[in-house]
Protein backbone atom coordinates (compact mmCIF):
# COMPACT_ATOMS: atom_id res chain seq x y z
CA UNK A 1 0.00 0.00 0.00
CA UNK A 2 1.20 3.49 -0.90
CA UNK A 3 -0.01 6.82 0.42
CA UNK A 4 -0.58 9.98 -1.57
CA UNK A 5 -1.54 12.87 0.71
CA UNK A 6 -1.82 15.27 -2.23
CA UNK A 7 -1.94 15.48 -6.02
CA UNK A 8 1.82 16.05 -6.31
CA UNK A 9 2.52 12.80 -4.48
CA UNK A 10 -0.03 10.92 -6.59
CA UNK A 11 1.84 12.10 -9.71
CA UNK A 12 5.14 11.05 -8.10
CA UNK A 13 3.77 7.55 -7.43
CA UNK A 14 2.84 7.30 -11.12
CA UNK A 15 6.40 8.31 -12.02
CA UNK A 16 7.76 5.61 -9.71
CA UNK A 17 5.74 2.98 -11.55
CA UNK A 18 6.94 4.33 -14.90
CA UNK A 19 10.54 3.89 -13.76
CA UNK A 20 10.05 0.12 -13.41
CA UNK A 21 7.37 -0.62 -16.03
CA UNK A 22 7.91 -3.26 -18.68
CA UNK A 23 6.31 -3.17 -22.11
CA UNK A 24 3.44 -5.56 -22.58
CA UNK A 25 2.05 -4.51 -19.19
CA UNK A 26 -1.73 -4.18 -18.79
CA UNK A 27 -2.76 -2.06 -15.80
CA UNK A 28 -6.32 -1.71 -14.55
CA UNK A 29 -6.96 1.52 -12.63
CA UNK A 30 -9.83 1.18 -10.16
CA UNK A 31 -11.43 3.83 -7.98
CA UNK A 32 -14.44 6.07 -7.72
CA UNK A 33 -14.90 9.17 -9.84
CA UNK A 34 -12.39 11.86 -8.85
CA UNK A 35 -10.00 9.54 -6.99
CA UNK A 36 -7.02 10.44 -9.18
CA UNK A 37 -6.75 7.69 -11.78
CA UNK A 38 -5.96 10.19 -14.53
CA UNK A 39 -3.60 12.11 -12.22
CA UNK A 40 -1.70 8.89 -11.47
CA UNK A 41 -1.58 8.14 -15.20
CA UNK A 42 -0.27 11.65 -15.90
CA UNK A 43 2.61 10.95 -13.52
CA UNK A 44 3.27 7.62 -15.24
CA UNK A 45 3.38 9.18 -18.71
CA UNK A 46 5.46 12.16 -17.56
CA UNK A 47 7.80 9.73 -15.82
CA UNK A 48 8.56 8.20 -19.21
CA UNK A 49 9.58 11.61 -20.56
CA UNK A 50 6.40 13.04 -22.07
CA UNK A 51 6.43 16.82 -21.63
CA UNK A 52 3.07 17.68 -23.21
CA UNK A 53 -0.32 17.60 -21.58
CA UNK A 54 -1.89 14.34 -20.47
CA UNK A 55 -5.64 14.54 -20.76
CA UNK A 56 -8.35 12.14 -19.80
CA UNK A 57 -9.62 10.20 -22.82
CA UNK A 58 -13.16 10.26 -21.45
CA UNK A 59 -14.68 11.16 -24.83
CA UNK A 60 -12.09 9.60 -27.15
CA UNK A 61 -11.78 6.35 -25.11
CA UNK A 62 -8.02 6.16 -25.76
CA UNK A 63 -5.04 8.50 -25.97
CA UNK A 64 -1.74 7.17 -27.34
CA UNK A 65 1.70 8.37 -26.20
CA UNK A 66 4.62 7.21 -28.36
CA UNK A 67 8.05 6.66 -26.80
CA UNK A 68 10.38 5.49 -29.55
CA UNK A 69 10.03 1.72 -29.67
CA UNK A 70 6.87 1.43 -27.57
CA UNK A 71 3.56 3.19 -27.01
CA UNK A 72 1.53 3.82 -23.87
CA UNK A 73 -2.23 3.70 -24.39
CA UNK A 74 -4.37 5.43 -21.78
CA UNK A 75 -7.97 4.22 -21.86
CA UNK A 76 -10.93 5.73 -20.01
CA UNK A 77 -14.00 3.55 -20.42
CA UNK A 78 -16.30 5.58 -18.13
CA UNK A 79 -18.62 6.63 -20.98
CA UNK A 80 -18.57 3.29 -22.78
CA UNK A 81 -22.14 2.21 -23.49
CA UNK A 82 -21.48 -1.46 -24.20
CA UNK A 83 -18.26 -3.47 -24.00
CA UNK A 84 -18.88 -4.68 -27.56
CA UNK A 85 -18.02 -1.13 -28.73
CA UNK A 86 -14.42 -2.03 -27.87
CA UNK A 87 -14.48 -4.77 -30.51
CA UNK A 88 -15.58 -2.24 -33.14
CA UNK A 89 -12.66 0.05 -32.30
CA UNK A 90 -10.18 -2.82 -32.66
CA UNK A 91 -9.26 -2.93 -28.97
CA UNK A 92 -7.16 -6.08 -29.32
CA UNK A 93 -4.75 -4.26 -31.63
CA UNK A 94 -3.63 -2.01 -28.76
CA UNK A 95 -2.28 -4.83 -26.60
CA UNK A 96 1.12 -6.30 -27.40
CA UNK A 97 4.76 -6.57 -26.46
CA UNK A 98 5.43 -3.06 -27.80
CA UNK A 99 2.79 -1.32 -25.69
CA UNK A 100 1.78 -0.58 -22.12
CA UNK A 101 -1.94 -0.10 -21.48
CA UNK A 102 -3.44 1.78 -18.54
CA UNK A 103 -7.21 1.35 -18.33
CA UNK A 104 -9.57 3.42 -16.20
CA UNK A 105 -12.98 1.88 -15.48
CA UNK A 106 -11.95 -1.59 -16.76
CA UNK A 107 -15.18 -3.17 -15.49
CA UNK A 108 -16.99 -1.50 -18.38
CA UNK A 109 -14.92 -3.59 -20.80
CA UNK A 110 -15.50 -6.87 -19.01
CA UNK A 111 -15.44 -9.85 -21.33
CA UNK A 112 -13.53 -7.98 -24.03
CA UNK A 113 -10.43 -6.61 -22.30
CA UNK A 114 -7.44 -8.86 -21.72
CA UNK A 115 -6.74 -9.71 -18.10
CA UNK A 116 -4.69 -7.24 -16.07
CA UNK A 117 -1.10 -7.83 -15.07
CA UNK A 118 -1.47 -5.24 -12.33
CA UNK A 119 -4.57 -3.78 -10.65
CA UNK A 120 -4.16 -0.39 -8.99
CA UNK A 121 -6.96 0.74 -6.70
CA UNK A 122 -7.05 4.34 -5.50
CA UNK A 123 -9.22 5.06 -2.47
CA UNK A 124 -9.77 8.03 -0.17
CA UNK A 125 -7.70 8.23 2.99
CA UNK A 126 -8.30 11.36 5.04
CA UNK A 127 -7.74 14.28 2.70
CA UNK A 128 -5.42 12.19 0.49
CA UNK A 129 -5.41 8.82 -1.25
CA UNK A 130 -4.38 5.25 -0.51
CA UNK A 131 -3.01 3.25 -3.45
CA UNK A 132 -3.20 -0.55 -3.49
CA UNK A 133 -1.28 -2.51 -6.12
CA UNK A 134 -2.16 -6.14 -6.77
CA UNK A 135 0.00 -8.22 -9.10
CA UNK A 136 -2.15 -10.64 -11.07
CA UNK A 137 0.44 -12.22 -13.38
CA UNK A 138 4.15 -12.95 -13.34
CA UNK A 139 4.78 -9.72 -15.24
CA UNK A 140 2.78 -7.82 -12.62
CA UNK A 141 4.80 -9.49 -9.84
CA UNK A 142 8.05 -8.47 -11.54
CA UNK A 143 6.92 -4.86 -11.75
CA UNK A 144 5.75 -4.76 -8.11
CA UNK A 145 9.05 -6.31 -6.96
CA UNK A 146 11.03 -3.75 -8.94
CA UNK A 147 8.83 -0.97 -7.56
CA UNK A 148 9.52 -2.07 -3.99
CA UNK A 149 13.22 -1.38 -4.60
CA UNK A 150 12.75 2.13 -6.03
CA UNK A 151 12.53 5.18 -3.78
CA UNK A 152 11.48 8.29 -5.59
CA UNK A 153 13.24 11.54 -4.65
CA UNK A 154 9.84 13.22 -5.05
CA UNK A 155 8.41 11.43 -1.99
Q: Which pLDDT band holds residue 82 (cuts at 50, 70, 90)? A: confident
pLDDT of res. 155? 46
Q: What are the strands of the beta sheet with 128-135, ordered from one edge?
A: 2-4, 128-135, 118-125, 26-30, 99-104, 70-76, 62-67
**Res. 152: pLDDT tops 90:** no
Tens of pLDDT, residue by residue over 94-148, are: 999 999 999 999 999 999 999 999 999 999 888 889 999 999 999 999 999 999 8
For each of the domains in the chain, give its residue range(s) and CATH number, in order of start: 2-148 (3.40.50.300)
Distance CA 137, CA 118 (A): 7
Tens of pLDDT, residue by residue over 7-23, are: 898 999 999 999 999 88
pLDDT of res. 70? 95
Distance CA 106, CA 136 (A): 15
pLDDT of res. 100? 97
Of residues 105 and 60, more confidence is placed in 105
- The answer to whether 71 touches 64, Cβ cutoff 8 Å, is yes
Q: Percent of the chain, pLDDT > 70?
A: 97
Amino acid sequence: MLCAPDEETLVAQGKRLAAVQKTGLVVYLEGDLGMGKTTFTRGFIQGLGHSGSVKSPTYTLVEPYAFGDFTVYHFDLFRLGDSEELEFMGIRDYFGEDSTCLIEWPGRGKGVLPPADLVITIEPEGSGRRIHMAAITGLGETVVLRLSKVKSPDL
